[in-house]
Amino acid sequence: MSLAEMVIGQTAYVRTVAHPSASTRHRLLSLGMVPGERIILEQRSPSFVIRVGWTRIALDRETAEQVFVTSEGHDGAIDTGRG
Residue in 47, 12, 54, 10 with CA at minimum distance from that of residue 32: 54
Write down the domain spans for the chain.
Answer: 3-77
Give the integer Cα–Cα distance in Å for 42 and 32: 16
Q: What CATH fold (topology level) applies to the domain 3-77?
A: SH3 type barrels. (2.30.30)
Output the tens digit of pLDDT for each of the chain's 83 residues. Answer: 999 999 999 999 999 999 889 999 999 999 999 999 999 999 999 999 999 999 999 999 999 999 999 997 655 444 444 44
pLDDT computed for residue 82 by the predictor: 42
